[in-house]
Structures are given as C-alpha cells and as structure tokens.
C-alpha cells in the first residue's frame, strides 16, 4: 500500500475528526457510545492542531487513512508528558486501512519527530486495555510498559502507559 505521512491541512480537520470518532466507536472503546462526551474531543481536530502537530496518513490517491497528534514538549494537549518528554495521542486508523502499516507509519513519524526535539529523551503514550493490537505494535517498536504512570482520567476508564527511550 502506498502511504504518505504529512501534516494535516485545515480542510481535513472534519474528515479526520470523523475518522477518529468512528475508529473509537466501532472499536467499542467508548463506554457511552454515541453519547460519550469524549467524542467531542476526538472530533475536535482543530483544537488538537492548535496545541500539537497533527499528522495524517494518506494513500496514493490522497484518501485519508488515519491520523495522530504529536505533542512535542508538553502543553495543553499533553496528558502525561513530563519535562524532556514528547507524547502522542488520538492515534486512529480507518477500518479499511487497518493491518496495512498505517498506524505503524504514524507512530514512526512521532518517534522521528520526538528524536528531533532538542532535549527530548522519551516519547510517551496512554492506551486503553482493549487496544491490544496497538499495544503489540508499540512493543514491537520498542516501547515498554510504564505501570507506575498508569492513570484514570475518568472513573472506570483506566489507561495504560508506555514509553520509548530515545
């Protein structure tokens, strides 16, 4: 599959927001389904882009396949990054593009970006227990579990954390 990774264009904000929302909804990752308040966050790509670097994966015909938000040095969009760390969030891949290396290409972009940030020594992320395929990918790419950093943003939604030393 021909995949390119690039910064998002403003005209793609809505499409990536819907792609991300669908990935979480269809994956059964939102406890309250269509009424889940986190859907607003997932759809708010403009908000992500204001506080992070949003990257998209597109195919050879320019079709949107997935996206991710890279947070280079903390800031309003970071959940768990500490000084000297970068973070990525909202990794999502369209259903029809899964298993084709899209997610891995987006994560590798975040790794490369983190390595380019002066003073950045670690890339961190949070993930849900049910996201086993993503966790296997993170581990394959060298990320390790950091259970002491696991956290619960809202009751009944515990998140696992991973880190990659750069």
pLDDT tens digits, residue range 72-106? Answer: 987 789 999 999 999 999 999 999 999 999 999 99
pLDDT at site 1: 62
Beta strands (DSSP E) in the chain are 3-7, 53-59, 64-71, 85-93, 122-128, 144-145, 159-165
pLDDT in tens, 116-125: 999 999 999 9
40 three-state secondary structure: helix
Task: Count other Cβ atoms within 10 Å, centred on residue 8.
Answer: 22
Do the beta carbons of residue 63 and residue 56 sit within 8 Å? no
Residue 134: predicted pLDDT: 95
Residue 75: the pLDDT is 79
Distance of CA 132 to the CA centre of its chain: 14
**62: alpha, beta or left, given left = phi > 0 and alpha = psi -120 to 50?**
left
Q: What pLDDT, on a 0 to 100 scale, did the predictor assign at position 156? A: 79
Those residues of the chain that have pLDDT short of 50 are: none
Q: How many CB atoms lie within 10 A of CB 117?
A: 16
- Helix axis angle, 102-116 to 132-140, nearest 10°: 50
């Amino acid at each position: 599959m021909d995949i390119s990774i690039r910064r998002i264009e403003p005209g793609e904000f809505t499409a990536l927001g819907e792609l991300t929302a669908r990935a979480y909804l269809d994956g059964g990752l939102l406890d309250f389904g269509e009424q889940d308040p986190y859907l607003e966050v997932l759809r708010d790509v403009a908000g992500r882009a204001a506080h992070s670097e949003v990257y998209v994966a597109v195919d050879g015909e320019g079709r949107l396949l997935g996206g991710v938000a890279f947070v280079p040095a903390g800031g309003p969009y970071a959940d768990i990054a500490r000084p000297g760390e970068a973070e990525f969030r909202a990794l999502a891949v369209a259903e029809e593009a899964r298993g084709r290396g899209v997610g891995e290409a987006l994560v590798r972009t975040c790794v490369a970006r983190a390595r380019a940030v002066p003073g950045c020594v670690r890339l961190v992320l949070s993930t849900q227990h049910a996201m086993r395929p993503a966790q296997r990918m993170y581990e394959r790419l060298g990320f390790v579990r950091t259970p002491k950093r696991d956290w619960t943003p809202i009751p009944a939604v515990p998140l696992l954390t991973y880190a990659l030393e750069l």
